[in-house]
Amino acid sequence: MTAPAQPYADACRRPREAAPSSSAPEERGKRVAHEINARHNADKACVLHTAKLLPLAYLAPDLVEMILEGRQPPRLTLTALIAQPLPHSWPQQRARFAALR
């Protein structure tokens, strides 16, 4: 994983703080956005690069699994993933992966 993406990966792996059970999803979303913003400011990450990385959070689960297990196509790099906007449809994402084989 590239250095600018590392803080976001760390934030995802960190245990979540206990929140009251009545906490609305909107409040949790605001806390997550605040955390990302704080890490972004702390690391002075490039806003454009961050904007390109955030859509990867919506990558199809099976594609994430392939990457984590090292089974992705050899030509699939972070640069290749963010070169074009990520399709919203998981079947379209899979088609893009297949094209890189």
pLDDT greater than 70 at residue 92: yes
pLDDT greater than 90 at residue 15: no
Look at the chain and count its residues.
Answer: 101
Closest by CA to 87, choosing from 54, 47, 58, is 58
**Percentage, residues of the chain above pLDDT 70:** 69
pLDDT greater than 50 at residue 21: no
Q: Give residue for tokens 């390109």.
A: 52
pLDDT for 62: 95
Query: How far is the C-alpha of 71 from the C-alpha of 58, rounded, in Å?
Result: 19
pLDDT tier for residue 94 given thresholds of 50, 70 and 90: very high
Query: How far is the C-alpha of 50 from the C-alpha of 54, rounded, in Å?
Result: 6
Query: How far is the C-alpha of 11 from the C-alpha of 13, rounded, in Å?
Result: 6
pLDDT greater than 50 at residue 18: no
Query: How far is the C-alpha of 46 from the C-alpha of 30, rounded, in Å?
Result: 21
Average pLDDT, the chain: 76
| pLDDT tens digits along 35-81 | 877 776 666 667 777 788 889 999 999 999 999 999 998 888 888 88
Q: Report which secondary-structure segment, H or E, holds 33.
A: helix 25-43
